[in-house]
Structure 1
């Protein structure tokens, strides 16, 4: 008889229940509601892992790397850092377990600048100066650039009252926002910024534009700046500037340190961090806070070399981060699309990027960034099916239980409430994990959340400003996740769901991918031949346009054409963000050629009859490899300032403050700038324009010796609201 209050079950059902329980206890993996789990989390001793992390070693790495000078890819400090990391991997992992992946990348290289202060023809002092990051692709070469020195403090218009600016050189405080544009508007030949006692990344980011305005800008040390402020009060003092700042193809490399797995050597977990740095003053990019990620990578490599995991782990020190993730794109091209991985003989399951800052201690796990903006409801299942619940339901709770700590970890895989896939990061960013994701891989970044990284991007990113205590909780989370993934008895991932794919679109956008190589050529129309000829050594830019456009300057891929006018770019995406069906990314390719003597643009994108009107510049890249063509013409640049909508007196385009794009932003009225031949009152055969709408500067390109007429149209009907010519009372024609 069954007891009171209990429910009797048939003996067969009780036996079945016991059998299921025994099976679950015996098998190394189990499945609940379709989610496959590996070893019980109690087998992971996360507390021991985090207790063995050596923060003194991390501090030594950061101090050493930030002592080399600029680590901008291609600069001297970068190569010192490359050697340091390579030698460390060889020492810790053994020479046979270190791979050097070489590639080339286009960079703006500061080859040196000096300011000679003259009084009555006599040299008072020669000062070292440093170039500011270029406006788009427009670098410069100046020789014997002379002018009276004008000190205009913050660069407000009122600061220029009574000063003779036109044709002279303006001295400004660095912490002056975009006041340097007022100097350019008023006809200054160049600007010199004085080093402040401290600054922020916001100040750095407003010192350059996304349009190719030719306007040399320099930075001087505070002692030299104070001297210049003093002598600027003397009417008989002038300065002479000499500088070389040009694009070049730099030799670059990724360093891969391999720890072979003890049980599953052909299953690979990738852990990566970039070791290059960026500063608005590229020659002064010490990047101490940036270095904490790669320093953490080196420490994780040491730990796993002494505590070998079940799976093979690649520790990848990437470069070219600020060159549109060049190193990460090249890594994916060579290793993820290697014959061994494509065939499945080796399985590269997960890519984990470290993108840490000591400005805060919170972290977010992010799969999506602003390089590709890749993500949709279908592809998100790649992350949500196993990885997200495994991390947030097992790894993090177990880590907290074992350490007795609470960790602030934002879930960027499964956004909810008031947080999106960008977590609490209020501005654009790029992740070294993004190229792996668009190639159909399973990747994410452990990134510091809820901070603005104000100490990065300028010459004050030094060791003294690193707050290493903030790194500890972030690295403990990252170490636990990497340890768990590397030591699961069985990953709950079907490899075909994360295997590399060049181009993929399944039914109804259930899964998307696209990682292709574009091969292109730069042409110019040769009137005497009646056909096109190649343009060697041109600077080529590729960027996403249309709904996927981003104003984030580092998401533009820059390369250079060779002697035959040819170029190649790895990592052009196919599909990106979408609602259900996904979105086909549209990429725009344009080229410029700069004068070898002055650096001024000599050839610009041709919007005319033999250029974009005949040969498209924008492409939906849907196969590998994909061939493109872009056309330039010999041009004279003309700068236009204060380009705004004159009716409501507002910017032509509003940008979303978080994404810095036009999605989910206040609507802007349609607008166009069209260039006409002033003599024929028709469009030029060849002409060009660079304008982005959210900046108040535009650059027109006209044929040499031409007279142009600019029509400004705004509104739904594109009514003409302005006509601009370069006529004057003396020359009204």
Structure 2
């Protein structure tokens, strides 16, 4: 789909939120009247994306995540919103500093390394002095790549784009594996294959492409290496950031997203693509902060997405079941989560459940169709039938706006258009049997997920033009 079509679909997303958080008791526009449009410029999005992607790893509990929380809070305060910091505890694998030491001809060279995500509950730390052995390079780690090499007791140097071939090194008796980072953003599946659910104790570290090339040279010369991996489980303080735009009544619409990120190398997780959604919500908060809404609006930025939704879960536990609900000062009417916004996607999808919760709700979530009926009606029979919107899209691509928007509000095993298992920040709220769903790009491969290599260079204002919500 071209940039103009995608842009109008994002217009639909923005305008839907505007309708649901109407500035008056009445609908903002009749079907025959154009509703107000919010313009969010790619340059504004890119400014936030660059800022968030430059803060370091945004894995929950890491310094970059805290800096991102501070950045978001400062921006929301600048809009004049009341900012609430919701703190909670989470347990995360924390890289306390890893390294590779190379010994050759009486010389010693030390290189920075980064620990890989744990195997199940086992972070596979090395003894304090590390593990030592001959350094051998095996390319992609296929069995034939080990031919003629003495692997037992060795430190194996392997390309990152090698699938799960590191298990060949384990089977052949290696002491540790060093992954050489690529010079480009690797496919998501590569990151998923660098760890197991099985808690085997096997140290794995990552080095940058430049360091890897140096290690390959040293391996050719018969060097020995010492791998030190200092990955530990750590209980950390994490934060959800809430910006409150007070309305005339306590009925509250929550607009949410997550600002943390993930990588198979947790110390290197600064994803620029994952920063698009929080950048978008910041700009949406800016636009809506200039209005006086009838209903109260909460702009919520979650951390803890990648830790089994611990941030959204703790938020729901605190606020959906808190004293404010009991005394009537906070009434959550609906939660709309902004999921992954990918410029390469085609259309929008509305999702209520992910790969985990749908298994729990397929048989006992009666009333789903009825619960979401009014939302579907508002979107598909009212808003997307707006004559102005229909004319604009038809004039550009000759199709109805509903062609590129699809809902998955069902108790069947639908995964939307996602090709990998996924989690939604809206799921904990949805499981309270309230109305909560996620809007995100459809038919997007999202190969940038989980990358230890910065993807910032893959984004630009021109690329984000695909997400521009207003053409004229």
TM-score of the pair, normalised by structure 1: 0.56
Count the aligned residue pairs. 431
Q: 1:320 aligns with which of 292, 304, 311?
A: 304
Could you tell me which residue of structure 1 aligns to residue 347 of structure 2? Answer: 362
Unaligned runs of 5+ in 2: 1-24
* Deviation of 1:162 (Å): 1.1
* Deviation of 1:344 (Å): 4.4
Q: 2:178 aligns with which of 189, 192, 200?
A: 192
Is the Cα contact below 8 Å between 1:47 and 1:402 reproduced in 2?
A: no
1:511-547 per-residue CA deviation (whole Å, 9 max, x = no partner) reads xxxxxxxxxxxxxxxxxxxxxxxxxxxxxxxxxxxxx
Could you tell me which residue of structure 2 aligns to residue 606 of structure 1? Answer: none
Structure 1 position 401 matched with structure 2 position 390: yes
Q: 2:290 aligns with which of 292, 306, 321?
A: 306
Is the Cα contact below 8 Å between 1:356 and 1:471 reproduced in 2?
A: no
Structure 1 position 385 matched with structure 2 position 378: no
Give the Cα separation in 2 of the matches to 1:333 and 1:475: 35
Change (3 A) 1:430 1:470: farther
Query: Aligned runs of 1:615-694 on 2, under 5 Å?
Result: none
Structure 1 position 158 matched with structure 2 position 151: no
1:130-166 per-residue CA deviation (whole Å, 9 max, x = no partner) reads 1111111111332232110011111111111111101
Higher-helix-fraction structure: 2
Structure 1 position 121 matched with structure 2 position 106: yes
Change (3 A) 1:439 1:115: same
Could you tell me which residue of structure 2 aligns to residue 335 of structure 1? Answer: 319
Larger-gyration structure (1/2): 1
Structure 1 position 169 matched with structure 2 position 162: no
Change (3 A) 1:201 1:421: same
Is the Cα contact below 8 Å between 1:383 and 1:413 reproduced in 2?
A: no
Give the Cα separation in 2 of the matches to 1:45 and 1:275: 36
Could you tell me which residue of structure 2 aligns to residue 582 of structure 1? Answer: none
Is the Cα contact below 8 Å between 2:43 and 2:461 reproduced in 1?
A: no
Give the Cα separation in 1 of the matches to 2:34 and 2:101: 60
Change (3 A) 1:314 1:46: farther
Q: Secondary structure at the match of 1:65?
A: helix
Is the Cα contact below 8 Å between 1:93 and 1:258 reproduced in 2?
A: no
Change (3 A) 1:452 1:46: farther
Give the Cα separation in 2 of the matches to 1:244 and 1:388: 50
C-alpha RMSD of the superposition: 2.4
1:227-262 per-residue CA deviation (whole Å, 9 max, x = no partner) reads 111111223x1011223110000110101001111x
Change (3 A) 1:403 1:126: same
Unaligned runs of 5+ in 1: 1-36, 478-733
Give the Cα separation in 1 of the matches to 2:111 and 2:200: 25
Is the Cα contact below 8 Å between 2:176 and 2:227 reproduced in 1?
A: no
1:353-397 per-residue CA deviation (whole Å, 9 max, x = no partner) reads 111232314210011112322544623135433111111111223
Could you tell me which residue of structure 2 aligns to residue 221 of structure 1? Answer: 208
Could you tell me which residue of structure 1 aligns to residue 8 of structure 2? Answer: none
Could you tell me which residue of structure 2 aligns to residue 232 of structure 1? Answer: 219
Give the Cα separation in 2 of the matches to 1:157 and 1:396: 55
Give the Cα separation in 2 of the matches to 1:473 and 1:178: 35
Could you tell me which residue of structure 1 aligns to residue 265 of structure 2? Answer: 281
Is the Cα contact below 8 Å between 2:246 and 2:295 reproduced in 1?
A: yes
Structure 1 position 412 matched with structure 2 position 408: yes
1:305-331 per-residue CA deviation (whole Å, 9 max, x = no partner) reads 012322111000100000011110111
Change (3 A) 1:148 1:306: same
Is the Cα contact below 8 Å between 2:123 and 2:233 reproduced in 1?
A: yes
Could you tell me which residue of structure 2 aligns to residue 57 of structure 1? Answer: 44
* Deviation of 1:466 (Å): 2.6
1:606-631 per-residue CA deviation (whole Å, 9 max, x = no partner) reads xxxxxxxxxxxxxxxxxxxxxxxxxx
Could you tell me which residue of structure 2 aligns to residue 105 of structure 1? Answer: 90
Is the Cα contact below 8 Å between 1:152 and 1:159 reproduced in 2?
A: yes
Q: Secondary structure at the match of 1:283?
A: coil
Give the Cα separation in 2 of the matches to 1:471 and 1:453: 15
Is the Cα contact below 8 Å between 1:72 and 1:278 reproduced in 2?
A: yes
Q: Secondary structure at the match of 1:128?
A: strand
Could you tell me which residue of structure 2 aligns to residue 257 of structure 1? Answer: 243
Is the Cα contact below 8 Å between 1:114 and 1:128 reproduced in 2?
A: yes
Which of the pair has the greater relative contact order for Cα pairs under 8 Å at 6+ separation? 2
Query: Aligned runs of 1:290-689 on 2, under 5 Å?
Result: 290-342=274-326, 344-358=328-342, 359-373=344-358, 374-376=360-362, 378-398=366-386, 400-401=389-390, 403-404=392-393, 407=401, 408-413=404-409, 421-466=414-459, 476=469
1:190-220 per-residue CA deviation (whole Å, 9 max, x = no partner) reads 0001111221111111111111011111111
* Deviation of 1:438 (Å): 0.7
Is the Cα contact below 8 Å between 1:154 and 1:179 reproduced in 2?
A: yes
Give the Cα separation in 2 of the matches to 1:362 and 1:467: 20
Higher-strand-fraction structure: 1
TM-score of the pair, normalised by structure 2: 0.86
- Which 10-residue stretch deviates more, 159-168 or 465-474? 465-474
